[in-house]
A and B are shown apart, each in its own frame.
Chain A
Amino acid sequence: METLLSVILVFMIIGAIYALHARDLLSAVIAQGIVGYGLVICFLHLKAPDLAIVQIVVETITLIIMVAVVLDSSRKEIKAGFTRGNVINMITAMVFIGFLVYFFSLAIESLHVFGDHPLRMAETYAKEGAEKTGAANLVTGVLWDFRGYDTLGEATILFTAALGVLTVLRLRGKK
């Protein structure tokens, strides 16, 4: 189980690195699609069809919009040369990544085995969720009953995003 996941993750990392370094922005967008669809395969492999459906649809729509944006603007990436500020930024990022990797490696040792879920709350959800919410699909039951605030927050984020797009584009259109 973990070997297939590792292979897909390696593919996703390669796609992400290529998306960063591609000269042509269209191929960068396509390479970014490798990351999204790889994540779909990961979700399907980990038996999470809900997340896989959402991910595959969102990835497709995002890819369409990104391709439209790239075709309408420029296809070439503008490369900035090395300046002193750049180098300082890179060194700071490297130091932070080192710190994070060290503390993650400390934290991983104290975690449970992959796929083992010892959480008391999760067990209660799985056992009594169908009775308490009346929903056969447990994910929806958790999303709309036990954690309604989370879902309301997500919907609000989408609403705000649409509002922001409208505001920004109207301002530039009127100028």
Chain B
Amino acid sequence: MKGLTPIVKKVAQLMSGIIFMYGIYIVTHGHLTPGGAFAGGIILAGSFILLILAFGSEVIKLRKEETGSSFTESVAILATIILATAGFFAGSMVFFNNYLPKGTVGELVSAGAIPLYNIFIGVEVAAAIVTIFLALIIFKEEEEKR
């Protein structure tokens, strides 16, 4: 896959960082404002997809990237399950028990374990979407080589 023109590359460079920051904002403020792990994760994936589409696949080593995103995805969902199981053993015997101290409603550090779940699932969603996209691109390149 070839890259696009220099104008598109420059704009993608400038915009992808802002989109990434916006995704992080949506994920970390999931318990305060509309949005959350799924929306923020897909916005994070969108910033990566924008860069890949603009620069083409020769610049980045795709196989390594794919292995990395697949690994990140697995680790993130494992962390979520471990966090949920920790709630089972801390306090009452309830899976998904919100065992951390809650703090005042409306502040950034509040709501116990919910922000942690949000962050892990956000990483998982972003990595999963990027993995699917990279798998499709690598498949196409392999087809073209033969």
Contacts and interface: CB of A to CB of B under 8 A. Distances in A.
Interface stretch (B7-15, B54-62, B112-120): B112-120
A12 B95 CA distance: 41
A26 B84 CA distance: 43
Contact of B81 (A152, A162, A172, A173): A152
A72 B140 contact: yes
Interface stretch (A32-40, A46-54, A75-83): A46-54
Interface string A32-71: 0000000000000000011001100110110011001100
Interface residues of B, number: 53
A148 interface: yes
A156 B34 contact: no
B131 A162 contact: yes
B105 A130 contact: yes
A156 B26 CA distance: 21
B136 A137 contact: no
B16 to A, nearest CB: 15
A134 B103 contact: yes
Interface stretch (A14-22, A89-97, A107-115, A138-146): A138-146
Interface string B76-95: 01001100100000000001
Most buried by A among B31, B33, B73: B31
A143 B53 CA distance: 33
A61 B46 contact: yes
Interface range, A side: 35 or more
B111 interface: yes
B20 interface: no
Nearest to B87: A148
Given A57-B46, A136-B106, A145 B34 contact: no
Interface string B36-68: 111100110110010001000000000000000
Nearest to A149: B96
A115 to B, nearest CB: 20
A135 interface: yes
Nearest to B38: A54
Contact of B124 (A50, A159, A172): A159
Given A151-B121, A158-B128, 8 more contacts: A64-B49, A135-B105, A135-B111, A137-B31, A144-B117, A148-B84, A169-B138, A173-B139
13 contacts: A53-B35, A57-B43, A61-B49, A134-B111, A136-B105, A137-B34, A139-B36, A144-B98, A151-B121, A162-B135, A169-B136, A169-B138, A172-B139
Interface of B: 26, 30-39, 42-43, 45-46, 49, 53, 70, 73-74, 77, 80-81, 84, 95-96, 98, 102-103, 105-106, 110-114, 117-118, 121, 124-125, 128-129, 131-133, 135-136, 138-140, 142-143
